Amino acid sequence: MSPNPPQHGLEWKHGLFGVVPTWTVEPDMTIIKAIAIQHLPGITSNYKIKFFSASTFNKLFLLHPLDDATCTVESFIMCLSLLVNPYFKMANEVTMLQFVQKYTSIPVSCIITFDTSTNNKLGFKWILMSKIQGVTLKSLWESPALVWEERVQIVKMLAGYVKQLSSSKFPLIGSLYPSH
């Protein structure tokens, strides 16, 4: 059995629980910012970019306006993904976010644009989306200022979101992809 050919930025390493993907290339934040600004017409603010979060397959970068003292200018997230199942994984993520946005009241990021190929200056597939304002549920839940009634309301709201998602019916099992 031959090993998989090397892919830009991706290496599979043996870990305690099996083989895991690892990033071998740090994305260039200057290129990330340039791509994002190119796809954000009408942007008048000067944006800074910084690392935001990461998971096994994704790295997220925050584009935040420098001159936003009133917190009224929109921030954006650029999500870069490792080349694991390159087209299908990202196409499904984009389609699912668009589906949830269109057919539910669940707050999700608005997709600005995306590139499911690696044939770009970054060498990674990426999604540019709006950043939803708010705080993490974990930080809110651990706050001593959150009273019992507010916790009940949060749980009811989350149950409503689950109900909306579970009421969606599909004729087949599988993933959603763009119709084209």
Number of domains in the chain: 1
Is residue 120 situated within a structural domain? yes
pLDDT at 89: 80
* Residue 19: domain span: 10-134
Is residue 52 situated within a structural domain? yes
Distance CA 19, CA 14 (A): 4
164 exposure class (CB count in 10 Å sphere: 0-12, 13-18, 19+): middle
Q: Which residues of 108-135 are buried (b: 16+ CB within 10 A; e: fewer)?
A: bbebbebbbebeeebbbbbbbbebeeee
Is residue 151 situated within a structural domain? no
Is residue 16 situated within a structural domain? yes
The structure's pTM equals 0.82
Is residue 53 situated within a structural domain? yes
Is residue 179 situated within a structural domain? no
**CATH number for 127:** 3.30.200.20
pLDDT at 27: 92
Residue 120: pLDDT above 70?
Answer: yes
Give 136-180 pLDDT, tens digit per residue.
Answer: 899 999 999 999 999 999 999 999 999 999 998 888 888 888 776
Is residue 124 situated within a structural domain? yes
Give 15-46 pLDDT, tens digit per residue.
Answer: 888 888 888 888 999 999 999 989 987 776 68
Is residue 91 situated within a structural domain? yes
